A and B are shown apart, each in its own frame.
Chain A
């Protein structure tokens, strides 16, 4: 009896979960006879089993529910109230089951409250056709309800409620009638194939499973397939078996292809297989050392069999994710009622399987998130049409496999996350400073909802908003090696993406070495592997001692594993494997590119060995606090190694990493908006494969000349160009001097002076942010910048011009002599000083340049014989505006025209510049414009003079 009872409990609990789901579906689709049949049959089964097990209280309640549903079957309209009461009854039954499980007895008392409600509803439904005396009878027909065995003559025709009501109490249906209805619903063996819940009992597990899947796919919500037989969960072993009750034991085994297995047994099996895998690995390791061993072949076979066994055992642990979703339709329905929102729950991919251990662990987080979506995510039904959205809000739950992961998405079409609200909340709770927030992207800010103690709901509802929630969700998901990400567009909705490993027990891991010690990194978290070498494309670079790697179009922050783990190179003493690898230059190493949430980073290790299937063993309690390891394992050679948890690593270095990232992003941003803004650069090759660059604005023209026209006069090459002789200067000696065909030239000209700079070929014109990374010592080069992801030498045009005409810079000085206009030029960037000074000199001005506005100002005050001031706008310490204002307030300097140079040219800036006293506002690299502006500035001066 005890066994029977416990089996009953498990089965009933499962049936009730199905009823929950089915009822919600039924409420939405009351005309679907199939769903009703299904519910009816399940409740009937429960009632029948309760009768058999002598559980009168449960039986009475189930009976009353069944009666009401019988009415629905007869075509009575389905009301929300009725469904709510039935759902309440089912909850009550569940409560009783809990007590039953604990004590072995039904709880005391009765459920008259619910039963009379059920009866009342059944009665109302039947009232239209019922006899006038019906209510009286119903009122005193309380106790007889508990005696379902009391039969009344069966009506001849179940389809005619009139007959029925005459024979029975109103609202009451005879047991025989129910039985008959049940039989009809059952649609036995000849039955309708679409009723997979019947056929699956008779089919082999696989066949039923696939059919279950098909049916599920065709049904509105795939939760349908919960009853799918499965070796692991052995759920819902078919209708007849349960209905047969007493006969069950005899028949069940023969007719069902699935059996129930205790979870502990499966766990035990799993552990044993894990050990087997370990031993196999050990044997393989030994075998690897003895090449011609006679064990080779049998060992290979053992290995294969082990792999198969491992796979099969894993399979027994797999369950469709739909099992974790089963309760959701009911929850969403209840929530919808409670919050007065119309919500539709879509579920896609319920058949996606994952390890039951994982399944158990994500159940609660998922439920919580769906609740959140319903409560916070979706707008009130009334508000939606105004936003151009359908009244019914949609929550879409989907699951699919991707790589070795299962991806679960919870998407709603609600209001999205309000970034401003999150911001103010973050500030209010002191989770970040204003400065930090200003630097963050919207997505980064939205992610604060995963922070402990964060909840944007201004009102605490019973549903959510207690401020524990998303952080717990995240913690739970991260505990199982998963990650959670979100994408939210305000006004359009929010999508949460959860990525979790399929299984936890055995993982494939990459064995790596750092500072002479080996570690395992789960393959799942490895995005790619990059070998970094000093002389290759992939080279570890540092910014303020922070290692980074240029990986395609991104800058990847790097974490030195040895540093993070506090491993010192001299700790190797204990580890015999330490070799010269650790002595390599710091730029060398293997980079394991990992992804944690949206953050991608590289872990630098000294060596990478192979991948190995490892059995994850938890860290001992004493070491649990070390977040950087997710466990440890025994390798094939018997040694114990730590399994690195990239999540933990990211957290351990989290702040610094996050900061680095931010800094980098900021740097890029300032580079994009500040001084060194996007500049058109001409790329060409001269003498080497590496491209060289020169700001396009300095180049007058690009020409190709026939080499035959080149003349060698006076020890130099010249060419006739536009009616004058133009000297040709070779960028360097390595430039190929072609003997035939065309030779590309860059022509620099100023007034009647022109120079041709001979190059090998012209590559491209690119717009790039220009940052001189390395100042050059070599004459002719200003330094090196990264252009198009390649280190590129930037040419110093000023070096070449005098090579063509020695007096290029001086000639105008001579003509203008002492009256040469004196320009004071301020720019914090040496590059621009080097770039613009020659331009101005070339135009015949006497230029004195300064790197700081402060120093320039002092110089101005000391010797005010300057005629024009040209200043950069964006500068540290004292910017161009302040500089101009300082000049303007000084009576002695007031008359000086100040020309602002900026890569940034907005009307607002120009206006501000004028206010500050700028004479003109010129874009950087607008050579002509600058010269013109200087001329303009000088004109009034000379006129006055």
Chain B
């Protein structure tokens, strides 16, 4: 997903999930939408919030708070979702808020700290030390790919 050879910098869309700032590679973000009328999918894993109709397409919504083990929003979470295409299918990662787009130098990435919760480290490809806070890079492919074995285990 990152173009190492030509471009030493990458653009990230920043999002907030709980208290934490995350960065998503901009080329993977399809759109940002308000998830409405989510249909729960019975017997699915808890992090699957459900499915919804986004302009005629069926989008699978993933509750990122659940995925990361963050307590759900108290008001039930009228949150936002980031639209992602993955293997020809549409997914929506439900987040709390969307921030700005940052252009960051690739060389500045820090490895995930070894003591990071495995739920986090398994879907993060590194950390940026921004001024004032840290931004965790969300590896979209891994977010969506790690889902499957979990489903099986359930």
Size class of the A contact interface (CB-based, 8 Å)? 20 to 34
**B39 contact from A275, A517, A620, A621, Cβ within 8 A:** A517
Binds A, one of B11-19, B24-32, B53-61: B53-61
Nearest CB of chain A from residue B52's CB, rounded to whole Å: 6
Residues of A contacting B42 in the complex (Cβ-Cβ under 8 angstroms): 517, 565-567, 626, 628, 642
Residue of A nearest to B51 (CB): A640
Q: Residue B34 at the A interface, CB < 8 A?
A: no
Separation of A574 and B48 alpha carbons in the complex (Å): 15
Asked if B134 is at the interface of the complex by the 8 Å CB criterion, the answer is: no
Residues in chain A near residue B60, CB distance under 8 A = 620, 622-623
Residue B40 is within 8 A (CB to CB) of chain A in the complex? yes
- Contact check, A278 vs B56: say whether CB atoms are below 8 A apart: yes
Asked if A916 CB lies within 8 Å of chain B CBs, one says no
Cα(A77)–Cα(B91), bound, Å: 68
Query: Chain A's nearest CB lies how many Å from the CB of B43?
Result: 5
Is B147 in contact with chain A by the CB < 8 A criterion? Answer: yes
If A622-B60, A625-B152, A640-B58 touch, does A566 touch B41 (CB 8 Å cutoff)? no
Near B by CB (< 8 A), chain A positions 594-633 give 617, 620-623, 625-626, 628-629, 632
Q: Tell whether, in the assembled complex, residue B52 and residue A640 are in contact, meaning their CB atoms are under 8 Å apart.
A: yes
Partner of A622, one of B43, B48, B53, B56: B48
Q: Are B43 and A641 in contact (CB under 8 A)?
A: no
The smallest C-beta distance from B92 to any residue of chain A, in angstroms, reads 11
Contacting B at CB under 8 A, from A260-275, are: 275
Nearest residue (CB) in B for A638 is: B53
Contacts of A625 in B (CB 8 A): 148, 151-152
Contact, CB under 8 Å: B43 / A566: yes
Residue from A275, A626, A639 within 8 A of B41 (CB atoms): A626
Interface membership of A711, Cβ < 8 A: no
User: Which residues of the partner chain A approach B89 to less than 8 Å between Cβ atoms?
Assistant: 620-622
B residues less than 8 Å from A629 (CB atoms): 41
Give the interface residue-count category, chain B.
Answer: 20 to 34
A628 CB contact (under 8 Å) in B43, B48, B53, B148: B43
Question: With contacts A620-B91, A622-B151 known, is A634 near B58, CB below 8 A?
Answer: yes
A81 nearest CB across to chain B (Å):
52
Instruction: Name which residue of chain B comes closest to A571, CB basis.
Output: B40
Q: Return B76 CB to nearest CB of chain A, in Å.
A: 8
- Bound together, the chains give a CA A626 to CA B50 distance in angstroms of 13
Q: In this assembly, does B144 line the interface, its C-beta being within 8 Å of a C-beta of chain A?
A: yes
A533, chain B: closest CB distance, angstroms:
26
Looking at chain B's contact residues, the main secondary structure is: mixed
Question: With a CB–CB cut-off of 8 A, which chain A residues contact B53?
Answer: 634, 638-640
A640 to B90, alpha carbons, bound, how many Å?
14
B40 and A517 contacting across the interface, CB-CB below 8 Å: yes
A617 to B90, CA, bound (A): 12
Cβ-defined partner of B148 (8 Å) among A565, A621, A639: A621
Tell me the minimal C-beta distance from B6 to chain A in angstroms.
31
Q: Would you give the shortest CB distance from A562 to chain B, in whole angstroms?
A: 9
CB atoms of A622 and B148 under 8 A apart? yes
Question: Which of these, A567, A617, A626, contacts B58 with CB under 8 Å?
Answer: A617
What residue in chain B is nearest A626 (Cβ atoms)?
A: B43
Which chain A residues border B37 with CB–CB below 8 Å?
A: 638-640
Name the CB-closest residue of A to B147.
Answer: A622
Query: Chain B, 111-154, contact with A by CB distance < 8 Å: what is the 0/1 string?
Result: 00000000000000000000000000000000010011001100
Within the complex, the shortest CB–CB distance from A99 to chain B, in Å, comes to 32
B52 — which chain A residues lie within 8 A by C-beta? 640
* A278-325 contacts to B (CB < 8 Å): 278
In the complex, B44 has a CB within 8 A of chain A: yes
Asked whether, in the complex, the Cβ of B40 is within 8 Å of the Cβ of A621, the reply is no
Question: Nearest Cβ distance between residue A278 and chain B, in whole angstroms?
Answer: 7
Residues on B with C-beta less than 8 A from A642 are: 39, 41-42, 51
Contacts of B62 on A, CB cut-off 8 Å?
Answer: 622
B contact residues around A517 at 8 Å (CB):
39-40, 42
Closest residue of chain A to B144 (Cβ to Cβ) is A622
A contact residues around B43 at 8 Å (CB): 565-566, 626, 628
Establish whether residues B148 and A632, one from each chain, have CB atoms under 8 Å apart when the complex forms.
no
Complex alpha-carbon distance, A629 and B148, angstroms? 16
Q: Which residues of chain A in 520-568 are interfacial with respect to chain B, using CB atoms and an 8 Å cutoff?
A: 565-567
Write out the residue numbers on chain A whose beta carbons fall within 8 Å of the beta carbon of B48. 622-623
Once the chains are docked, how many angstroms separate the CA of A626 from the CA of B154? 10
The listed residue (A574, A621, A639) touching B87 by CB distance below 8 A is A621
Rounded to whole Å, the gap between the CB of B81 and the closest CB of chain A is 14
> Contact: A623 with B58, CB < 8 Å?
no
Q: Is A640 a contact partner of B151 (Cβ separation < 8 A)?
A: no
The reply to whether B148 and A640 contact each other, CB–CB distance below 8 Å, is no
Q: Distance in Å from the Cβ of A632 to the closest Cβ of chain B?
A: 6
Q: Are A626 and B44 in contact (CB under 8 A)?
A: yes
Whole-angstrom distance from the CB of B30 to the nearest CB of chain A? Answer: 15
Contact with A along B53-77 (1 / 0, CB 8 A): 1001010101000000000000000
B44 proximity list for chain A (CB < 8 A) = 623, 626
Interchain CA distance A628-B41 in the complex, whole Å: 10
A275 to B58, CA, bound (A): 12
Given contacts A617-B58, A634-B56, contact A623 B152 (CB under 8 A): no
Bound CA–CA A894/B91 (angstroms): 83
Q: What's the nearest-Cβ distance from chain A to residue B108, in Å?
A: 32
Q: Specify which of B40, B144, B151 is in contact with A574 (CB 8 Å cutoff).
A: B40
Contacts of A628 in B (CB 8 A): 42-43
Provide the A499-524 mask, 1 if CB < 8 A to any CB of B, else 0.
00000000000000000010000000
Bound-complex Cα distance A517 to B43 (A): 13
CA distance A769 to B92 in the complex (A): 60
Nearest CB in chain A: distance from B73 CB, A: 14
B101 to chain A, nearest CB (A): 27
**In the complex, which residue of chain A has the Cβ closest to the Cβ of B38?**
A574
CB distance from A274 to the nearest CB of B (A): 10
List A839-882 residues whose CB lies under 8 Å from chain B.
none
* A7, chain B: closest CB distance, angstroms: 31
What residues on A are CB-neighbors of B144 within 8 Å? Answer: 622
In chain A, positions 629-664 with a C-beta closer than 8 Å to chain B are: 629, 632, 634, 638-642
Q: Cβ of A638: which chain B residues have Cβ within 8 Å of it?
A: 37, 53
Q: In the complex, are the beta carbons of A275 and B40 less than 8 A apart?
A: no
Interface residues of A in 343-401 (CB under 8 A from B): none
Residue on A nearest B90 in the bound complex, by CB: A620
* Chain A positions 566 through 599: 1 when the CB is less than 8 Å from some CB of chain B, otherwise 0: 1100010010000000000000000000000000
Do A623 and B40 touch (CB < 8 A)?
Answer: no
Inter-chain contacts of A626 with B (CB < 8 A): 41-44, 151
Nearest A residue to B41 by beta-carbon distance?
Answer: A623
- The answer to whether B56 and A640 touch across the interface, beta carbons within 8 angstroms, is no
- Complex contact B56–A275 (CB within 8 A): yes
Rounded to whole Å, the gap between the CB of A281 and the closest CB of chain B is 12
Central interface residue in B44, B53, B89, B151, by most chain A CB within 10 Å: B53
Shortest Cβ distance from A562 into B: residue: B42
* Bound: A641/B60 CA distance, A: 12
How many angstroms between the C-alpha atoms of A626 and B51 in the bound complex? 14
Determine the residue in chain B with the shortest Cβ distance to A565.
B42
Q: Are B39 and A641 in contact (CB under 8 A)?
A: yes
CB distance from A643 to the nearest CB of B (A): 11
- Indicate whether A620 sits within 8 Å of B152 (C-beta atoms), given known contacts A632-B51, A638-B37: no
A contact residues around B56 at 8 Å (CB)? 275, 278, 634
Q: Most B CB atoms within 10 A — which of A622, A623, A641? A: A622
Instruction: Compute how far the CA of A628 lies from the CA of B90 in the bound complex, rounded to whole angstroms.
Output: 21
Residues of A within 8 A of B51 (CB): 620, 623, 632, 640, 642
Which are the 9 A-B pairs with shortest beta-carbon distances?
A565-B42, A620-B60, A625-B151, A640-B39, A640-B51, A620-B89, A622-B147, A634-B53, A640-B53
Q: Can you give 11 contacting A-B residue pairs, CB < 8 Å?
A: A620-B58, A621-B87, A622-B60, A625-B148, A625-B152, A628-B42, A629-B41, A634-B58, A639-B37, A640-B39, A642-B39
Instruction: Knowing that A621-B148, A622-B91 touch, tell me 20 more A-B residue pairs with CB under 8 angstroms.
Output: A517-B40, A517-B42, A565-B43, A566-B42, A620-B90, A620-B91, A622-B48, A622-B89, A622-B148, A623-B44, A623-B48, A623-B60, A625-B151, A625-B152, A632-B51, A639-B53, A640-B52, A642-B39, A642-B41, A642-B42
